[in-house]
């Protein structure tokens, strides 16, 4: 298996794994269109890709810097964004769609009045006409794929946030594969564009639910994952293994692993880690927890109080635990 393909497969196994932003910043198939400490230069460039917008660098943010690299595969333009500094952005998507694939850091969005948070391993699909207000974490890396409007006609996903189910995971994987194709321009990279077109079509026009076997299998898989996620929430501060979890929900460990990979794109224990990091963020932001140390809050969230946890948190959240608490 090609090294890049192995790397892409790892993305679907863990919410903390993914394409390496540093490798993408050096990839030969992309050209640098911005490298600056001037927020105004970024603001001007974003206006050309996102449509009508206004943005600002939030007071007290880390010193701003940004790098954007661009490539293309067939009709799709691919932008790699890597930046530091917390930004608020209000815009209306015009002319084309955008598939946003975060690699590091969080993107908090209100899209047509509906709030959501995009994390690494998820995606956002912006449609022409969408009205959005967004807020980034201190450090963000991600991939924007500009999607021609003709590939967005017809029915659309139930939510702009893509994270669950076979079809949404398929679209996320196709987007990441296209980004790899743009970055390294391997032979046959046009097939990545064809795969993305097909994934967009499948996500907009899911197969007929009247197929009884498929419907029952999918419902059972979703039910298993939902029950397991509830159990994880209730036992967050405890130490448990995938065997404990599978026994608690009454399925084999193999069935549980497969169900999570199909629905969420990663393993049950990777989901437990993601939920624990979310809990740590909530505790860090809670004024009533100010008297407790960051180490205590890590342990209360079921995480090890160590530097590895702090590094995982920074990759996931785009800022250090200390920075989250200070903000």
What pLDDT, on the 0 to 100 scale, is given for residue 13?
38
Tally of CB atoms within 10 A around 289: 16
Of 158, 144, 127, 4, residue with least CA distance to 72: 144
What is the per-residue pLDDT across 216-239, written as a single tens digit (0 to 9) for each? 688 899 999 999 999 999 999 999
Work out the average pLDDT over 82-97.
89
Between CA 44 and CA 134, with CA 67 as vertex, the angle to 5 degrees is: 60
pLDDT(215) > 50: yes
Measuring CA to CA, how many Å separate 109 from each of 18, 137, 185, 194, 258? 22, 11, 32, 29, 30
Residue 3 backbone phi and psi in degrees, to 5: -60, -40
pLDDT at 10 over 60: no
What are 304-325's pLDDT values in tens digits? 999 999 999 999 999 999 999 9
pLDDT score of 207: 63
Has domain 3-204 been given CATH number 2.60.120.10?
A: yes
Q: Mind listing the pLDDT tens digit for each residue in 149-175?
A: 999 876 565 689 999 888 999 999 999
- The whole-angstrom separation of Cα 283 and Cα 277 is 10
Evaluate if residue 101 carries a pLDDT over 70.
Answer: yes
Fold of 219-327: Arc Repressor Mutant, subunit A (1.10.10)
Higher-confidence residue of 193 and 326: namely 193
Interval 50-76 mean pLDDT: 88
Mean pLDDT for the stretch of residues 107-123: 93
Mean pLDDT of 83-102: 90
Whether residue 7 is predicted with pLDDT greater than 70 in this model: the reply is no
In the predicted structure, residue 18 carries a pLDDT above the cut 80? no
pLDDT at 186: 83
Nearest to 258 by CA among 230, 220, 208, 207: 220
Q: Residue 3 — pLDDT band, cuts 50, 70, 90?
A: very low
Structure confidence at residue 221 (pLDDT): 92
Cα separation, 272 vs 138, in Å, equals 24
Classify 207 as helix, strand or coil: coil
Check whether 2 has a pLDDT greater than 70: no
Rounded alpha-carbon distances, angstroms, from residue 30 to 33, 133, 180, 200: 9, 28, 10, 24
Contact 323, 63 (CB under 8 A): no
pLDDT at 203 over 90: no
Q: Report which listed range, 51-60, 146-155, 251-260, is most confident.
A: 251-260
pLDDT score recorded for residue 14 = 42
Of 39, 78, 79, which is closest to residue 58 (Cα–Cα)?
A: 39
Taking all residues of the chain, what is their mean pLDDT, rounded to a whole number?
A: 87
Q: Which of 75-79, 100-104, 132-136, 185-189 has the lowest mean pLDDT?
A: 185-189
Taking residues 259-265, report their average pLDDT. Answer: 92
Confidence (pLDDT) at 43: 83
Q: How far apart are the first and last CA of the chain?
A: 44
* Domain 3-204 shares a fold with domain 219-327: no
Domain boundaries, the chain: 3-204, 219-327
- Per-residue pLDDT at 157: 57
Where are the extended beta strands (E) located within 129-259? 131-136, 139-147, 161-162
Q: Answer positive or negative: Cα dihedral of 7, 8, 9, 14.
A: positive
């Amino acid at each position: 298996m090609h090294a890049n393909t192995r790397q892409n497969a790892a993305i679907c196994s863990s919410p903390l794994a993914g394409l390496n932003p540093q490798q993408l910043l050096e990839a030969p198939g992309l050209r640098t269109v911005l490298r600056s400490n001037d927020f105004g230069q970024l603001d001007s460039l974003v206006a050309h890709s996102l449509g009508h917008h206004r943005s600002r660098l939030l007071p007290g943010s880390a010193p701003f810097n940004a790098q954007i690299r661009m490539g293309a595969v067939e009709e799709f333009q691919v932008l790699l964004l890597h930046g530091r500094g917390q930004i608020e952005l209000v815009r209306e998507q015009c002319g084309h769609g955008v598939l946003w694939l975060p690699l590091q850091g969080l993107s908090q969005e209100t899209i047509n009045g509906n709030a959501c948070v995009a994390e690494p391993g998820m995606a956002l699909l912006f449609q022409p006409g969408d009205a959005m207000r967004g807020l980034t974490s201190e450090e963000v890396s991600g991939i924007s794929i500009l999607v021609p409007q003709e590939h967005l006609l017809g029915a659309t996903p139930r939510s702009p946030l893509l994270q669950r189910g076979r079809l949404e995971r398929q679209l996320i994987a196709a987007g990441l594969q296209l980004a790899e194709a743009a970055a390294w321009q391997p032979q046959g990279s046009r097939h990545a564009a064809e795969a993305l077109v097909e994934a967009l079509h499948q996500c907009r026009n899911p197969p007929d639910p009247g197929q009884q076997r498929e419907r029952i299998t999918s419902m059972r898989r979703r039910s298993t994952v939902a029950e397991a996620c509830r159990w994880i929430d209730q036992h967050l501060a405890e130490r448990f293994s995938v065997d404990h979890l599978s026994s608690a929900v009454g399925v084999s460990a193999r069935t549980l692993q497969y169900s999570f990979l199909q629905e969420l794109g990663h393993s049950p224990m990777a989901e437990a880690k993601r939920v624990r990091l979310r809990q740590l963020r909530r505790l860090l932001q809670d004024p009533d927890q100010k008297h407790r140390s960051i180490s205590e809050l890590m342990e209360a969230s079921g995480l090890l109080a160590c530097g590895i946890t702090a590094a995982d948190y920074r990759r996931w959240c785009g800022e250090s635990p200390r920075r989250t608490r200070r903000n």
